[in-house]
């Protein structure tokens, strides 16, 4: 459209609008009129975005409750808080069961627009292999032109640190079990392109002074070690750090420089959705952190160009499974999804 045409439109619109002095007082504009005007000019949702995004969550070995809920071999679980976290931001969930046949896993990966690796403890065996495979697939999808985000939370972040560095001994020990902490932003970090981009500035400020993020880990990586490792420092940009009980500083949030990959040592899903530990912050600020972090993942997933067949998505959603109430005694995860070995 030429700039001339734009001006014509502008003037046309202006001429339709009576100036405030021109008898507006006597002519009250009804909301119905307002609506009619808006109907013609309201911008349609961005057609390049996908508004039915689906996130794959990889299940973790065990029942999430030291055998209290299931002792079956091959059982795996997803804490319902991760599912609720994703759903709360406007996406649905397909569980990726870590020990299902690789062909099946690959098929399921074609149904989703992003992936989440959860917390847990397993750092080797089939689980590590599955996470490695899926991680490589995620990078491939992005290299091939899709925008396919990954959130790697706690153990998930530790695992991709091991995978990228190709060093299974890269992690260090920290004392940060079951505690809420503050978070410090790395000054040079590019917040604008990260998950923190939509956080209200006031909330970002509070996160540095109030204990609003939940930590529950014994391993991690120090900023020095990450920066000294060529593979890690070329893949990741450090966004935030935190301090453990002994004032040792660890990397708490990273973003990839070239991929829509975000790693968290902390647990964004717990503030709103886990009630078993009295240490988990549940204030309005804390819950907003959960929502903002989830919103970023889903906003990234909406950019994915994958448009899977609707019925196949419906057939694989986590809705096909029922959660188990593991937190009735006030300990552990409130609810978990359990998956028998396929």
Give the active site residues: 154, 267
Q: What is the rounded distance in angstroms from the CA atom of residue 102 to the CA atom of residue 292?
A: 33
- Residue 220 or residue 323: which is nearer to another protein going by CB? 323
Pick from 63, 100, 244, 334: which binds another protein (CB under 8 A)? 334
Q: Which of 60, 84, 108, 225 binds another protein (CB under 8 A)?
A: 84
Q: Which of 70, 113, 271, 304 binds another protein (CB under 8 A)?
A: 271
Alpha-carbon radius of gyration of the chain: 23
Q: Which of 330, 340, 341, 342 lies at the binding interface for another protein (CB under 8 A)?
A: 330
The contact mask relative to another protein for 45-74 (x = CB under 8 A, - = no) is x---x-xx----------------------
Q: Which stretch binds another protein (CB under 8 A): 68-76, 82-90, 121-129, 174-182?
A: 82-90
Cβ 223 vs Cβ 236: under 8 Å: no
Query: Distance between CA 155 and CA 218 in Å, rounded?
Result: 10
The one segment of 42-50, 69-77, 163-171, 212-220 that binds another protein by CB under 8 A: 42-50
> How many residues are present in the chain?
342
Nearer to another protein, 14 or 188 (CB): 14
Which of 72, 102, 190, 325 binds another protein (CB under 8 A)? It is 325
- Which residue lies nearer to another protein by CB, 44 or 144? 44
| 69, 327, 332, 339: which one binds another protein (CB under 8 A) | 327
**Which parts of 215-244 interact with another protein (CB under 8 A)?**
none
Burial level of 338, CB count in 10 A (0-12/13-18/19+)? buried
CB of 167 to another protein, least distance (A): 38
Residue whose CB is less far from another protein, 208 or 283: 283
C-alpha distances out from residue 139 to 145, 172, 208, Å: 10, 26, 32
According to CB under 8 A, which residues from 86 to 115 bind another protein? Answer: 87-90, 92
Tell me which residue of 110, 121, 139 sits closest to 261, measured CA to CA: 139
**What is the closest distance, in whole angstroms, from the C-beta atom of residue 44 to another protein in the complex?**
9
Size of the site for another protein (CB under 8 A): 74
For another protein, which residue of 4, 31, 145, 201 counts as binding (CB under 8 A)? 31
**Applying CB under 8 A, which of residues 67, 125, 200, 224 lies at the interface with another protein?**
200
Q: Is 45 or 145 the residue whose CB approaches another protein more closely?
A: 45
Residues 10-29 that bind another protein (CB under 8 A): 10, 13-14, 16-20, 24-25, 27-29
Q: Please tell me whether residue 144 binds another protein under the rule CB under 8 A.
A: no
Which of positions 277-316 make contact with another protein (CB under 8 A)? 281-284, 286-288, 290-291, 295, 298-299, 302, 310-311, 314-315
């Amino acid at each position: 459209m030429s700039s001339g045409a734009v001006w014509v439109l502008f003037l046309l619109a202006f001429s339709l609008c009576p100036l405030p002095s021109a008898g507006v007082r006597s002519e009250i504009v009804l909301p119905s009129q307002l609506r009619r005007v808006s109907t013609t000019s309201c911008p349609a949702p961005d057609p390049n975005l996908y508004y039915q995004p689906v996130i794959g969550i990889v299940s973790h070995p065990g029942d999430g409750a030291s055998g209290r809920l299931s002792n079956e071999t091959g059982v795996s679980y997803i804490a319902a808080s991760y599912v609720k976290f994703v759903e709360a931001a406007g996406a649905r969930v397909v569980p990726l069961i870590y020990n299902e046949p690789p062909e099946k896993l690959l098929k399921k990966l074609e149904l989703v627009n992003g992936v989440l690796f959860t917390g847990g403890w397993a750092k080797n065996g089939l689980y590590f292999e599955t996470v490695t495979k899926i991680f490589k697939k995620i990078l491939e999808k992005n290299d091939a032109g899709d925008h396919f985000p990954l959130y790697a939370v706690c153990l998930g972040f530790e695992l991709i640190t091991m995978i990228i560095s190709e060093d299974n001994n890269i992690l260090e020990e920290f004392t940060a079990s079951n505690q809420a902490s503050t978070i410090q932003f790395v000054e040079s970090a590019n917040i604008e392109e990260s998950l923190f981009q939509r956080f209200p500035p006031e909330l970002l400020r509070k996160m540095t002074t109030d204990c609003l993020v939940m930590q529950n880990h014994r391993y991690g990586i120090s900023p020095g070690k990450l920066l000294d490792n060529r593979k890690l420092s070329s893949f990741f940009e450090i966004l935030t750090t935190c301090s453990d009980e002994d004032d040792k500083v660890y990397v708490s949030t990273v973003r990839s420089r070239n991929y829509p990959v975000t790693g968290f040592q902390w647990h964004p899903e717990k503030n709103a959705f886990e009630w078993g530990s009295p240490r988990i912050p549940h204030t309005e600020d804390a819950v907003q952190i959960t929502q903002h972090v989830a919103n970023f993942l889903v906003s990234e997933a909406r950019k994915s160009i994958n448009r899977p067949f609707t019925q196949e998505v419906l057939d694989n959603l986590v809705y096909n499974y029922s959660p188990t109430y593991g937190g009735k005694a006030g300990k552990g995860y409130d609810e978990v999804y359990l998956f028998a070995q396929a």
